[in-house]
Amino acid sequence: MNKNPGHNSETPNYRLLVGLVCLAVLGLLLLGACAPADNATKAQERPNILWLVIEDMSPTLPPYGDTTIETPNISRLAQEGVTYTNVYSPSGVCSPSRASLALGMYPSSIGANHMRTTSHTDVTGLPSYEAVPPPQARMLSQYMRGLGYYTTNNYKTDYQFKPPTNAWDENGIFAHWRNRPAGKPFFSVVNFTTTHESGLFEPYGFRKIEQRHYFSDDVQKIAALPKRALEKTSESEAAIHVPKDLDFPIPPYLPDTPAVRRDMWKMYNNLAETDQQIGAVLEQLKQDGLLENTIIFFYSDHGGPLPRQKRLIYDSGLKVPLIVRYPNAKGAGDINDQLVSFVDFAPTTLGLAGGETAPHMQGYDFITKTAEPRKYIYAAGDRFDGFTDAIRAVKDKRFKYIRNYLPEQGYYLPVDYREKIPTMQELLRLQDEGQLTDAQAQWFRASKEVDELFDTLADPHELNNIARDPAHAETLARLKEELDNWLERIGDVPGMSERRLVETLWNGNKTKPKTVEPEVALDNGQVALSSPTAGASISYKITQSNYEPKAWQIYTAPFELPRNATLKFQAHRIGYQPSETQLYPTR
């Protein structure tokens, strides 16, 4: 990994020049976008953008050919929107994936790929740390605020770094576009956790906190929900949407037993419940008369919840559904098979909002730009909880190449969390009894090939490694070279130990860097804020008559402080500790 993760290995002077230029461009972008003179008019012309994000779900949906159950609300989005059939997360697990969505960067380029960076320190012996993107990096939501959008996130973050206080206008279980000022467009993310892997645990039930989707913006009802997000209903209280005796499509790497069929039922039942929740949110959009002025993204944060799906970089762990519905159902029913990566979501959302791709982003605008579609997607796997691996992958529309940097160990890792799933327990039982088929036992082999190549069209479950087949030697060589190029391009060094990674992120220091307190200056009645820490974002609030606004503002230019008002401000570079909050005038 390069000293400044996410950058190519140019000369130091060149990197410095690029960094200064990027910071200048960023300042102009945010300053221009926030200019009050024409912002109100331009903002009203921009579409609202709504992300509907479910968890741990492959494209096991009717629009993708899986007719096991009906999902009327998701299917209606597909009928009225564009269905993308080649969309991939850069990781098979949520936190790295969400880092890429928030920043438009590959997790392994910024120290975000180990799951998680803030936990399992008793096992790793490492300090808690955060991903550290390059100084000029900002979150997508910050750019959207700069473009005049009201931004909300309801409610999951999990980015592998602490978001700055000015990342969102609202963030939490009460966040809703309905709280925005009149006439202001919104960028809202609504997270649905019912399909999460933990929804397969016993005893079975739905997460109670997910009922908030049915309560619209009713603060009292939402506040009455359990504060602990993992608290669930009992199975008898959970809605039964799916018959338990359906003929569920069990993939060949899982055994067909009652325990597995019960988990398949839970998975589809959770999906059906999520579809109902999505319908409730869409109904709110219709009630507000906003459906035809809103671009809707529906997708999952990575592949499915079952063993040999989540955490792996087979397509079962990476491939996700993506449906985009445009105002007035533009492109209704279209199927788009271009390759799309999560790093493309941020540039594309900025493009739809009338902005430009930020300099630090590593993805492409796949909707509003006419550039040549991407030829490859990339993925990476490293530590999962207390167990470390090192895997990288590249894929075109047909072939996937996987490189294993720790071939001496097997694919299966005894992750405690996953072993709460009855299907995982069933796999381990049958393995001990020697009753697994070859396809099911493959995951448990003692070692891995360094090189793996799969024809994902002929072999969608990636069970037949053709890396040694002479007929595919040219494809193997091409993808190996492409993987090398990508690793160099983003500054990813898979062989680097996590301890060395932390030292690199912290510039050789033993403790997490801290953002230096911002400085305040008064010039001709204008308050100017600055931070000595390169790349720090400054947040501020103006308090008057004991009233303090909920949202922190993003500082972009000097402003006038009203008489008898107090300024509260803080600086924060992503991945660093934030500075202490300060007051001006001091009390």
| Catalytic residue ranges | 94
Give the CA-trace dihedral at 251, 253, 258, 264, to 10 degrees.
-40
Give DSSP secondary structure letters for 363-416: S--SSS--SPPPS-EEEEE--BTTB---EEEEE-SSEEEEEES-TTS-S----T
Decide: helix, strand or coil at residue 229: coil
Closest CA to 574 of 238, 121, 129: 129
Decide: helix, strand or coil at residue 216: coil
Give DSSP secondary structure letters for 315-365: HHHHEEEEEEE-GGGTTTTEEE---EEGGGHHHHHHHHTT----TT--S--
Q: How far apart are CA 111 and CA 1, in angstroms?
A: 9
Q: What are phi and psi of 272, to 5 degrees?
A: -65, -40
Beta pairing partners, 381: 391
Name the E strands within 101-245.
150-154, 170-171, 186-192
Give the CA-trace dihedral at 321, 326, 331, 336, to 10 degrees.
-30
What distance lies between CA 401 and its chain's CA centroid? 23
- The answer for residues whose C-beta is within 8 angstroms of residue 11's C-beta and 6 or more apart is none
Q: What are phi and psi of 231, to 5 degrees?
A: -65, 130
Q: How far apart are CA 468 and CA 476, in angstroms?
A: 9
CA distance to 229, 339, 416, 499, per residue, from 122 (Å): 24, 39, 15, 14
Q: How far apart are CA 135 and CA 535, in angstroms?
A: 4
Sheet holding 451-455, edge to edge: 377-381, 391-395, 399-404, 451-455
Q: At what angle do helices 345-352 and 94-103 cross, to 10 degrees?
A: 40
Tokens of 21: 């230029």
Q: Are 197 and 206 in contact (CB under 8 A)?
A: no
Q: How far apart are CA 258 and CA 156, in angstroms?
A: 33
